[in-house]
Structure 1
Amino acid sequence: MSYIRINCIYLPCLLALALNAYAQPLPDELTWETNNDSEVWANLNAPKGGSYTSFISSYPGTLRTIGPDSNNSFREHIDGNQLSLTAFHPNSQEILPQLATHWAYGKDERTVYYKLNPAAKWSDGITLSADDFLFTYSLLGSKRIKDPWYNHHYQKRILSVKKYDDHTISITGAVARPREELHYFYGMTPLPKHFFQYAYVDWVKDYNWKITPNTGPYQISKLTANQEIEFTRKKNWWAKDQKYNLGRFNVDKIIFKVIPDANVAYGEFEKGKLDNFSLPSPDFWHHKATGSLYNNGYLEKFLFFNDAPRTSSGLFLNLDMPILQDKNIRLALAHSMSFKHAPVGDYFRLNAFHTDYGSYSNPGILARPYDLEKTNHLLDEAGWMSRDHDGIRIKKGSRLSIDLMYHNKEHSQRWRIFKQDALKSGIEIKLDLQTPSHHYQYTRQKHHQMSHMKLSASFRPVFWEHFHSDNAHAVNSNNITNTDNLDIDKLIEAYSNATSKVERVSKAHALATAIHDSAVFIPGHSMPYARGAHWRWIKLPTWVGTRSTTDLFEPFGNGGLFWIDEQQKIDTRSARKSKIKYPIVNEVFDQFKTETEN
């Protein structure tokens, strides 16, 4: 079967090929499964209504979720309103129905059959069908979208999508996997075939700011460039009465204001113009989030521990930069910075690129400790023996100077301390504070030397996009270290092709060791909790969140647990004028706490 390998401009031409996988008979003896027995994680009595306002630090560069510059921080809000075939329970990881009502497994252990919910509709009222999945498979495998990750996934990992009738499909992957992993690695989030009717020559530009129809609870309803993005809840959402959606997605409007400066945003929060404020910063948590608004009970603080895979947060070293091609320099950098300066109890040091992935994480990998003696020895071995009048090491007339790019102004003091640590060994660290959007683009274009980034966690460790040579030396890929190592490539391919959990865990451990040995990533800090403050009219269930909750006020995805008590909103505003006080609220929720200080 052939998919999208033609030069026509219009997508109907592509569809003519994509839809040649037309109705065919299902295999005999399929056992169909569903799951209506798992526990709900929302308050079923939560009222609907109201408007919730939060902020983002920068306006997204595109509304696309595929193609150049689409991997931005705002994308999670768009993705959170595009449902997949199935979902994972946020506490138990059990498989839950979403766009599919039932599923069955092929004897080859790499094919899953799905029955689509006939009630599922796109936000413009068009019914979801099997053709949307065939179309998505064709489009995401096409070079037209200019997205190497999707091209690789839909050419090498997912081998076919077949249609049996308008509401029955199958997806076959390249290798056999455990059943729960089949849904993750080979599951699909469809795109609306009817919306992408024409793929012009400059497809990426043409769809840059178009609002794509979705299948989730909210849709973008207003865009004010560089100022505000608004989502509106669908009153007649097709899935609103499904068991696992009850009590969720309660607020009528979700508004994200663009406020680049966190201090300005916090000021807006205290004025009541924002409904909540995340407080990961020690300075904000310990010093700013105090005073009469808290003492009078108008603002409430919380600390909620979770138990989820950690983001890959740390320093990424670019191997295409000549000074960093010497492994001794990279090792010296890792040993030259002390992470013990972070406030005790606020941060926990990560040990590896993949942390808290259960058996998939390699417990033998430990972050390199601060060691001035070892740093000096490594630099001497690398030939940086002399120092100039500033105490910076020199070699052949060049200073040992390395740029560190970051975007969070609140981290500046931390990096200044690291700079002083490195200077003791004769390394000059030049700090480069950028706007979030410029930092992201500059790093993705591989112009950085050393960049502090935080990459999102996933269901299982992923390696190909971050460390395979296929993605090295190319802009807009996630291999931001430009790792190009044949041995690592072979391990990644063995991991990707492993058919048993035992084999995959073994290869994941070997990869963790290889990545650690390459010294291209210096693990940073983790925050195994969500903490912040909110006005007292914002309400949460008594259990507050789930095992995998990283943001209690995430309005989409597995979130949407909060609601607004409109009467308390009126009462609180009146109480402020009358100087009426409420009890102080500063709660810690540690039912999922697993970590100790390190």
Structure 2
Amino acid sequence: MIINNKLVSVFISIALVFTAERTIASSWQTSLSMYGDIKYQEGFKHFDYVDPNATKGGTFKQASIGSFDSLNPYIVKGNAAAGITHIYDTLLQQSADEPFSLYPLIAEKVKVADDFSWVSFLINSEAKFEDGKPITAEDVKFSFDLLIKEGSPLYASYYAGVESVEVDSTQQVTFHFAQSGNRELPLIIGQIPVFPKHFWKDKDFTKSGLLIPIGSGPYKIKSFDAGKQITFQRNSAYWAKDLPVNKGRFNFDQLIFDYYRDDSVAFEAFKSGAFDYRLETSSKRWATGYVGEQFNSDKIILETIEDKSPQGMQGFWFNLRRDKFKDPNVREAISLLFDFEWANKTLFYGAYTRINSFYSGSELSTGINISDAEREILSPYAAQLNKSVFEPIQTNITLGNGNVRKQMRQAVALLSKAGYELKDSKMQNAAGEQLSFEFLLYSKDFERVIHPFRRNLQRIGIKTSIRLVDVSQFINRLNNFEFDMLSLRKGQSISPGNEQASYWGCETADQVGTSNWAGLCSPVVDQLTKQLTLATTRKQLVDITRSLDRVLLSQHMVIPQWYLPAYRIAYWNKFNHPKNAPYYDLGIETWWAKPSEPISKEEGQ
């Protein structure tokens, strides 16, 4: 299941429940669920986390850092404009207060084979693109083919289980799978964005540019100033505005994204009223920066909202394609010298918790000790795995006072195993070459985190440097593997599945634009990701994910950083939002303007 990384960002009712004991009949259904019961039963009016009476109108302005040179978020080339996915709808809509359940949007019904070997969608006869032309089954097939052939490599990997697509009629399309038993694949097919064939059939989808596309969603592009600002206008003729999945959502007439080169400049602009809303990611700024008359007088509201989604993995990612990082002993040695405890106390005001899993903050995270279920899953691969996989996980905990002598000794010993020797204050290999690498950054604010880390590395003779680039260059270097080490967060779903192969699989390790940032290639990981897609119960899914987590951790391909299971938000006091936020999302699309903002006269939009 795809969640919309910081990256970000991309998602009535007989239940379709996937369990080992119960399979579904090949009949038309009006909802899909990965497991468990459907929350929203037949005849539901709206999601519980919206206010169906929210007024329409007003403007919501946000900031984005960097620049943009593309209006196509589905390809590798270019840096797509913020908010651009608002112009597209998907076949089905995911609810944000269930692990993975989908409800009708472009498709009004869905049918799945008893053995999960195919899925059919019945397109709503009222569904239209923003230019008024009907959305057909042919558009759905065209969209799928376009993503597979010309989109980011992520899609070819994500939809690899699809063998063929058949247009059964004007309103019906069927996806046939290469093998049966993949219970998640029908759901992820339901998340495909739909493009108009009549618009794209004679255009180059792969070209990064500023051609304004025709969309299928609640907003359309009103105007833009390349690299500086983009404005989206709510589509007053949006055909799906009254569907249960859309009631109380998409309430602003305009969404505006202003671009800033630097986050510090953006923060000052926010305080002056240049834009309306800010999601704060800096603990220091949250603790010390939100002061002044506008905060004391409640002109700006501060809120901390619990984030119940899995936190995933945020960390320093090694580029395993580099020869110097091939040996896991080298990676583990470097990891030992990141002093989280000191950084958390000194730099972060004690706000964070150390990440200890690729699925941190959820039941999917493995424990210190391997469980019996994990041992059973991993035992067949024992000969291919480091024995540490089956042992208690040793967490690196420092004194928090800047003294890392213990970790230095451990790191030197590990580097010795890898063929390095500390000589003349330099950590050298047999050829006399010093171990050195570069941190790639797009935010100057992060330098304060890296400098203490660099000092610890220098103390055992490892040379480091920092390359600071803008966001566009950062993305380009990431996509083309032009980095040694960088800092990113990979978010995770509460229901991981097909996307895991694109995150960690051998087939994606060297694809330009891959989601496999580190370039990991492990036959065992490939086998575990396949097992994950064939899980028949929630318990199996959890056990396999925990097993995968243990193996990924043993690779030392990332130096875990920290997480905060909460959203820290600030906004000017001219908006309302529902009392209850959705369980797995912040739910900005459910907000609306207070009466002081201009309100639309169009009812029901």
What secondary structure is seen at the aligned counterpart in 2 of 1:302?
Answer: strand
- Which deviates more from structure 2 when the two are superposed, residues 492-501 or residues 114-123? 492-501
- 1:405 corresponds to 2:440: yes
Query: What is the rounded CA distance, in whole Å, between the counterparts of 1:122 and 1:186 in structure 2?
Result: 18
- 1:88 corresponds to 2:94: yes
1:35-434 equivalence runs, <5 A = 35-37=42-44, 39-69=47-77, 74=81, 77-93=83-99, 94-142=101-149, 145=150, 147-154=152-159, 156-177=160-181, 182-184=186-188, 187-199=191-203, 203-205=205-207, 208-340=209-341, 341-342=343-344, 343-358=348-363, 360-364=364-368, 368-370=396-398, 371-388=407-424, 391-395=425-429, 396-434=431-469
- Residue in structure 2 matching 1:465, options 473, 491, 502: 502
Query: Match of 1:196, as an amino acid?
Result: W
What secondary structure is seen at the aligned counterpart in 2 of 1:422?
Answer: helix
CA contact (8 A) 2:195 2:216 kept: no
- Residue in structure 2 matching 1:486, options 523, 528, 538: 523
Identity of matched residues, %: 22
What secondary structure is seen at the aligned counterpart in 2 of 1:515?
Answer: helix
- 1:515 corresponds to 2:552: yes
- Which deviates more from structure 2 when the two are superposed, residues 112-121 or residues 294-303? 112-121
Query: What is the rounded CA distance, in whole Å, between the counterparts of 1:301 and 1:193 in structure 2?
Result: 45
Q: How many residues align?
A: 525
Please list the CA deviations of residues 125-148 of structure 1 after superposition, one character each: whole Å capped at 9, or x if unmatched.
111111111212332332xx1633
Query: What is the rounded CA distance, in whole Å, between the counterparts of 1:180 and 1:400 in structure 2?
Result: 44
TM-score by length of 2: 0.80
Query: What is the rounded CA distance, in whole Å, between the counterparts of 1:542 and 1:493 in structure 2?
Result: 40
CA contact (8 A) 1:313 1:453 kept: yes
CA contact (8 A) 1:175 1:499 kept: no
Query: Match of 2:140, as an amino acid?
Result: F
Please list the CA deviations of residues 273-330 of structure 1 after superposition, one character each: whole Å capped at 9, or x if unmatched.
1112222212221111111111122111111111012243211111221211222110
Segments of structure 1 that go 5 or more residues without pairing to the other structure are 1-26, 554-559, 571-598
Higher relative contact order (CA 8 A, sep 6+): 2
Query: What is the rounded CA distance, in whole Å, between the counterparts of 1:362 and 1:73 in structure 2?
Result: 35
Query: What is the rounded CA distance, in whole Å, between the counterparts of 2:215 and 2:528 in structure 1?
Result: 37
Query: What is the rounded CA distance, in whole Å, between the counterparts of 1:335 and 1:73 in structure 2?
Result: 36
Please list the CA deviations of residues 84-132 of structure 1 after superposition, one character each: whole Å capped at 9, or x if unmatched.
2222221124332211222232222232332221111111111111111
CA contact (8 A) 2:66 2:260 kept: yes
Residues 1:269 and 1:29: Cα distance change in structure 2 (over 3 Å)? closer
Query: What is the rounded CA distance, in whole Å, between the counterparts of 1:243 and 1:262 in structure 2?
Result: 37
Which residue is equivalent to 1:581? none
Shift of 1:168: 2.3
Shift of 1:177: 4.8
CA contact (8 A) 1:158 1:172 kept: yes
Query: What is the rounded CA distance, in whole Å, between the counterparts of 2:29 and 2:432 in structure 1?
Result: 71
Residues 1:534 and 1:83: Cα distance change in structure 2 (over 3 Å)? same
CA contact (8 A) 1:91 1:548 kept: yes
Query: What is the rounded CA distance, in whole Å, between the counterparts of 1:476 and 1:29 in structure 2?
Result: 38
Which residue is equivalent to 1:562? 591
What secondary structure is seen at the aligned counterpart in 1 of 2:525?
Answer: helix
Please list the CA deviations of residues 16-54 of structure 1 after superposition, one character each: whole Å capped at 9, or x if unmatched.
xxxxxxxxxxx9962433444374321122211112211
Query: What is the rounded CA distance, in whole Å, between the counterparts of 1:393 and 1:503 in structure 2?
Result: 45
- How big is the alpha-carbon RMSD for the aligned residues of Structure 1 and Structure 2? 2.7
Query: Match of 2:109, as an amino acid?
Result: H
What secondary structure is seen at the aligned counterpart in 2 of 1:204?
Answer: coil
Shift of 1:408: 2.2
Shift of 1:184: 2.5
Shift of 1:506: 4.2
Query: What is the rounded CA distance, in whole Å, between the counterparts of 1:210 and 1:312 in structure 2?
Result: 35
Residues 1:415 and 1:107: Cα distance change in structure 2 (over 3 Å)? same
